[in-house]
């Protein structure tokens, strides 16, 4: 299983075409649109629930030390 670092870009996801919070289409790296502004805020506080690359729902584990999110296709994000 591969592990990839969690990205903390302007959109709060890992540079993919989808939103890590709601799974909807992301702005393609553009500044957050009005519909995703709340998603960006929430991603600063909680782990992503959807893979930004393929839109699959991820298995998320939250611990006192941080969190990990696993996509069945793209591996594990850790923060």
- Give how far the C-alpha of residue 49 lies from the chain's centroid of Cα atoms, to the nearest Å: 6
| Distance spanning both ends of the chain, measured CA to CA | 17
58-73: per-residue pLDDT in tens?
Answer: 999 999 999 999 999 9
pLDDT of residue 37: 85
pTM of the model: 0.72
pLDDT digit string, tens, across residues 4-56: 544 443 334 456 889 999 998 876 555 666 677 888 899 898 999 999 999 99
Range of the domain at 40: 3-78
- Residues 47/69, Cβ–Cβ less than 8 Å: yes
Say how many domains are in the chain.
1
Both tokens of residue 12? 């709060």
């Amino acid at each position: 299983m591969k592990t990839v670092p969690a990205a903390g870009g302007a959109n709060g996801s890992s540079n993919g075409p989808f939103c890590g919070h709601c799974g909807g289409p992301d702005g393609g790296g553009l500044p957050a649109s009005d519909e995703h502004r709340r998603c960006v805020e929430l991603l600063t506080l909680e782990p992503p629930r959807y893979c930004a690359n393929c839109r699959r729902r991820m298995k998320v584990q939250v611990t006192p030390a941080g969190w990990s999110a696993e996509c069945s296709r793209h591996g594990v994000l850790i923060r």
